[in-house]
Amino acid sequence: MVRKIDLEVIPTPGRMTPNQDLQAAREELILKSQSFRRVECDFGASKGKFLSESALLNPTAFFSGIEGISDRVKRANRKIQRLGIANAALWRGWGKESLDELMPAAFLDTLHVSFPDPWPKRRHWVRRLVNVSFLEVAVTKLKADGVLRLQTDDLRYFASMKDQLSLHGGWIETPWEDDLLRPFTEFETIFREKGDPIGRIAVKRLKS
Ligand SMILES: C[S@@+](CC[C@H](N)C(=O)[O-])C[C@H]1O[C@@H](n2cnc3c(N)ncnc32)[C@H](O)[C@@H]1O
């Protein structure tokens, strides 16, 4: 399925609003997450459905989110507060740089990238998030045993994700099912209802 992307809504690198102060946010994230057994990050968390539901289902884990559109971040954090959820929070950030600025090194047990904008036209492929330079940052933020979970409804993007993983190197596939309860993301719900195929892969670092 080719999804229409609203170029007025999705900030492109040329017309970004500045990221919030992610250095300060990093301190906040460390404080908020320190009493939890594991920390996860949902990159491109949108309105926080997956984050808030994951937090309620898995109270011993902390769920952080990065999202580029500030209204979505505000809305998600308001919902998290209203529900009294202590183990989830989102921050406004754009691109791999925001992951780099927000996350301490070797901090994450799991990094989720679910249904990133597919940019189906060849001339827009450079805007795709999952590429070698994103993986370069991701690898420094995951713990030694940490898992990167990628899913998309765009099967050509899925093939490209697997190519980028091979190009970057040192990743090994691991089972998609794990010990946590995993709610559907907002987009996953839509694609499942339509019966669209979904490509998903979970990978971790090869032990040297
Ligand atoms: C297609 S939606 C998927 C949302 C959610 N992950 C899901 O599965 O329902 C992609 C989300 O990622 C955000 N996004 C896209 N590119 C981004 C980037 N480079 N940095 C941060 N957020 C981004 C968009 O604003 C949007 O909310």
- 10 secondary structure, DSSP code: S
Nearest atom within ligand 1 for CA of residue 189: 9
Q: What is the pLDDT of residue 21?
A: 83
Among all chains, which residue has been given the structure tokens 């036209």?
121
CATH number of 19-205: 3.40.50.150
Q: Give the C-alpha separation, 166 to 143, whole Å.
A: 20
Q: What is the pLDDT of residue 10?
A: 47
- Whole-number Cα distances in Å, 2 to 115, 153, 178: 13, 9, 30
Q: Give the C-alpha separation, 14 to 8, whole Å.
A: 12
Give the pairing of strands 38-43 and 61-67. Answer: parallel
Query: pLDDT of 75-104, one tens digit each?
Result: 999 999 999 999 999 999 999 999 999 999
Q: What is the pLDDT of residue 3?
A: 53
Q: Are 169 and 103 in contact (CB under 8 A)?
A: no
In the predicted model, residues of the chain with pLDDT beneath 50 are 1-2, 4-16
Whole-number Å distance, alpha carbon 129 to ligand 1 midpoint, is 9
Nearest atom within ligand 1 for CA of residue 112: 6
Q: What is the pLDDT of residue 207?
A: 85
The amino acid present at 125, given as its one-letter code, is: W
- Residue 75, number of CB atoms within 10 A of its CB: 16
Q: What is the pLDDT of residue 8?
A: 40
Strand intervals (E) in the chain: 38-43, 61-67, 88-92, 108-114, 142-152, 171-174, 199-205
Whole-number Å distance, alpha carbon 7 to ligand 1 midpoint, is 13
Mutate to test the pocket of ligand 1, among 129, 182, 189 (most ligand atoms within 8 A of CB): 129
The full set of domain ranges for the chain reads 19-205
Whole-number Å distance, alpha carbon 117 to ligand 1 midpoint, is 6
